[in-house]
Amino acid sequence: MNNKSSIGVFDSGIGGLTVLREITRLLPGENTIYLGDTARVPYGSKSKETIERYSFEIAAFLLKHDIKMLVAACNTASAYAVPKLAKELDIPVLGVIEPGARAAVAATKANRIGVIGTEGTIKSSAYTSAIKAIRPEAETFVKACPLFVPLVEEGWAEDEVTALVASRYLAGLKDAGIDTLVLGCTHYPLLKETIASVMGDSVALIDSAASTAMEVKKILEEKGLLNDSGKDASHRFFVTDSPERFMAVGRRFFGERLADAELAALTDN
Ligand code: DGL
């Protein structure tokens, strides 16, 4: 492993491409390897034990590709598995929870922060713990929004159905008078406009993807691991099932740069 090695990024499926997009935007010289666990998506409704096991299998696969850093783009995997991954792996490991929490604390003036995510992320209280570790007096208001993921994958991010679902999910957070809302799921940055129109201009929307990319840069800088070769970066994509669907839906998240996805067999590696 050296500074030309890739950054490994994983997610339960396609959504983590929002995080990869921010990383490649901020660090265009970095090689990346992305793994989407499309055979076992969704993670949001599964138990901690299962998500930990999946995440360790993925880490083992990516380590075989000589990655220099591991990024869990999936909020659910970040909430459930990153603490253990960080303890057990020899390379830096970053999830999206801490960067998102730091950005939320920096943005709030009223110390009233909303968090939305999958059932797993909300149940784990990972964002609340991370926010309170930075600012104990901050109050958090949480809401699981499980229908958002399938709506985005269906391509209905801007549909009236989604607007209706959003106003129903977010009504309680609106009433709570939050001034900051963490978009605690890979898919939610694609719903930014819909969510903003429900919450109004006075609520800052925190996209963990952008703050995570900044933290990736900081960590690589600190460790002397930034790629300074000046060569064009390579981006490899692996999935555990249906590369075609990944390519079709993934373009919504990553644009036309999405290279051909290869099939990964996690257990054989
Ligand atoms: N990637 C997941 C997350 O950010 C959302 C999709 C899923 O439930 O697997 O929590």
Instruction: Give the Å distances, CA to CA, from 210 to 26, 133, 202.
Output: 9, 21, 20
Q: Give the distance (Å) from ligand 1 centre to CA of residue 11.
A: 7
Longest dimension (CA), the chain: 51
Pull the structure tokens for residue 226: 């930034």
Tens digits of per-residue pLDDT, 255-266? Answer: 877 878 999 988
Residues marked as catalytic: 74, 185
Distance of alpha carbon 18 from alpha carbon 188, whole angstroms: 9
51 pLDDT exceeds 80?
Answer: yes
* pLDDT-derived band at 161, boundaries 50, 70, 90: very high
Question: Helical H runs in the chain?
Answer: 17-26, 48-64, 75-80, 82-88, 97-107, 119-124, 126-134, 148-153, 160-175, 192-199, 208-222, 243-254
248 pLDDT exceeds 90?
Answer: no
Q: What strands lie across the sheet with 139-144, from one edge to the other?
A: 139-144, 112-117, 180-184, 204-207
169, 117 Cβ separation under 8 angstroms = no
Mean pLDDT confidence for 62-91: 98
Pull the structure tokens for residue 47: 């138990």
Tens digits of per-residue pLDDT, 24-41? Answer: 999 999 999 999 999 999
pLDDT at 230: 85
Nearest atom within ligand 1 for CA of residue 11: 1
**Helix (H/G/I), strand (E/B), else coil: 182:** strand
Distance of alpha carbon 192 from alpha carbon 208, whole angstroms: 12
Nearest atom within ligand 1 for CA of residue 146: 8
For residue 143, what is the DSSP state? E
Domains present along the chain, CATH in parentheses: 6-95+210-268 (3.40.50.1860), 97-209 (3.40.50.1860)
Residues paired with 116 in a beta bridge: 143, 183
Cα-only R_g, the chain:
18
pLDDT at 259: 78
pLDDT at 254: 85
pLDDT at 208: 87
82 pLDDT exceeds 80?
Answer: yes
Which is nearest to 234 in space by CA: 65, 72, 64, 109?
65
Q: What strands lie across the sheet with 261-263, from one edge to the other?
A: 93-94, 69-72, 7-11, 32-36, 235-239, 261-263
Look at ligand 1, atom 1, and give the residue with the nearest C-alpha.
74
pLDDT at 268: 46
pLDDT at 269: 43
Torsional sign, CA 135, 71, 115, 183: positive
pLDDT at 26: 95
Tens digits of per-residue pLDDT, 123-160? Answer: 999 999 999 999 999 999 999 999 999 999 888 999 99
Q: Is the CB of 152 under 6 A from ligand 1?
A: no
